[in-house]
Structure 1
Amino acid sequence: MRLVLVPSRYRKNSSVSVLHSCILRLRWVQEWTLLCAPARSKYRLNQIFLRDHIVWWFTLDLAMKKKTILVTAASRGLGFSVAQSLVKEGATVIICSRTEKSLQEAVESLGPSSKYVIADVSKPEDILTLVEQVSDSTSHLDGLFVNAGGPPPGEFSDISDSEWRESFELTLMSAVRLTREFLPLLKKSKDASILYSTSISVKQPIPNLLLSNALRPAVIGMMRTLADEIGPDGIRVNAICPGYIQTDRVTQLFEASTDSSLKANLISQIPLGRIGSPNEFGAVCTFLLSPIASYIHGALLLVDGGLYRGMM
Structure 2
Amino acid sequence: MVDLHDSSDSEELDSDEELQRAFARGELKTGLNYEARAPKQIINNVSGMKQKLAELQKNLDWIEQLDLTNGPAPAPGGQEEFTEDEDVSNNDFKRELRFYRQAQASVLEGIPRLHKLGIKTRRPEDYFAEMAKSDVHMKKVREKLLEKQQNIEQRDKAKKLRDLRKYGKKVQIDVLQKRQKEKREMLDAVKKFRKGQKNKLDFLDDNTEKGKGKRGGGKNQDNKVQQPNKKRQYKNQKYGFGGQKKRSKQNTKESAADLTGFNPKVNQSRPGFNKNKSGNKNKPNKRGNKDKNKRPGKSQRHKMKNKR
TM range (shorter): under 0.3
Instruction: Give the number of the structure with larger relative contact order, counting CA–CA contacts within 8 Å between residues 6 or more apart.
Output: 1
The higher radius of gyration belongs to 2
With normalisation by structure 2, the TM-score equals: 0.11
Higher helix share: 2
Report which of the two has the higher share of strand: 1
